[in-house]
Amino acid sequence: MPLLTWSPSFSVGVKTLDGQHTALFNIVNELHAAMMQGKAQNVTGSLLSKLINYTRDHFSFEEKIMAATNYPGLARHRNHHLSLTKQVEEFMARYERGDGAINIHLLRFLSDWLTKHIQMEDKEYGPWLSKHGVS
């Protein structure tokens, strides 16, 4: 059973961004599945790297769209992105130092942050982007 399940309630109204958010859900679910199967230690590093790289690309793409449409909340949104990136990088550093207890904390953090970020911050830009021709 996945930890996170995509539903229309998460949609920001932009297909590309919804697809990227779904991919982020899938990465978190991969880590969750590995943890449930007792394989988290074997895949945490690669999944964290995958997550960091994917979120950087996603955040960059999202911010470019916001900049192109002169979204007024871009600076604040960028700060949210920087905060998440820093926190995930801290989890990676802990993992690299051999902290084997990070998986449950990481999953809780990622699922909470991702769902709240999409439903609060990302949902704010959806109408703006749609109004400015981004679908």
Residue 96 counted as domain residue: yes
What's the number of domains the chain is made of? 1
Closest CA to 117 of 19, 3, 24: 24
Domain CATH number, residue 117: 1.20.120.50
CB 84 within 8 A of CB 55: yes
Residue 27 counted as domain residue: yes
Domain encompassing residue 74: 14-131
31-65 pLDDT, tens per residue? 889 888 888 777 888 888 898 899 899 999 999 99
Residue 9 counted as domain residue: no
How far is it between the farthest Cα atoms of the chain? 48
Mean pLDDT throughout 81-86? 90
Tell me which of 132 and 95 has the higher pLDDT. 132
Residue 5 counted as domain residue: no
Residue 67 counted as domain residue: yes
Q: How many CB atoms lie within 10 A of CB 63?
A: 16
Residue 69 counted as domain residue: yes
Closest CA to 104 of 53, 40, 55: 40
Residue 8 counted as domain residue: no
Q: Is 26 helix (H, G, I), strand (E, B) or coil?
A: helix
Say how far apart CA 98 and CA 23 lie, in whole Å: 27
Per-residue pLDDT at 74: 97
CB 69 within 8 A of CB 129: yes
Q: Name the helix (H) or strand (E) containing 106.
A: helix 102-116
Per-residue pLDDT at 128: 95
Residue 7 counted as domain residue: no
